[in-house]
Amino acid sequence: MLDLRVRNHNRSLYCVLVIDLCGSLTFAGPLGPKELSHCLRLDSDPFSASWTKEQWDKELTDIMRPCVGIWQRGQLLAIACGWLVIDELHITNVTVAKNIRRQGLGYQVTSILLDYGRSRGARHATLEVNSINTAALKLYNKLGFSDVGKRSCYYENNDARVQWLKL
């Protein structure tokens, strides 16, 4: 697998091009307002953040709210979004297309977002995760996140686990 990363402090120039051994071309890069319809389509799954159009508009236009996506053959397969606040990256959304979960795309897209946050001066990353979302918990554990707290009934009747990672 070839992984070519282009890094720049300008959100529009940050991208990753991956070519796997089968010759399939996958592109990962920043998401902006032009990708709104793709984000809404991918974010319609019940376990995803399910943001409104207005929330997505805000996320995709604010430079301090980086969103990255992984694309293949014109389809958006995975999203990771966050907020940059001083020296912290607060991860707000990680979504992978339902039919291709558990293939490493969540790890890849979140790693790209963490790398981008680090390049913008973030020294820590934080997130809230539904305490019953075992797939997400495994993903964040693999990335090195650890529990630092809990928010009771944060997700309707479920608690959120507050997690932290030193970048």
Angle (nearest 5°) at CA 81 between 27 and 24:
15
Confidence (pLDDT) at 7: 41
Side-chain-facing half-sphere of 143: CA atoms under 13 Å: 30
**Cα 94 versus chain centre, distance:** 4
Domain that holds residue 86: 30-166
150 in a domain, yes or no? yes
19 falls within a domain: no
User: Does 152 fall in a domain?
Assistant: yes
- Tens of pLDDT, residues 112-150: 999 999 999 999 999 999 899 999 999 999 999 999 998
Asked if residue 9 belongs to a domain, the reply is no
In a domain, residue 58? The reply is yes
In a domain? residue 22: no
How many domains are contained in the chain? 1
- In a domain? residue 23: no
- Whichever domain contains 102, its CATH number is 3.40.630.30
Which residues of the chain fall below pLDDT 70?
Answer: 1-26, 45-49
pLDDT attached to residue 25: 54
pLDDT, residue 47, reads 56
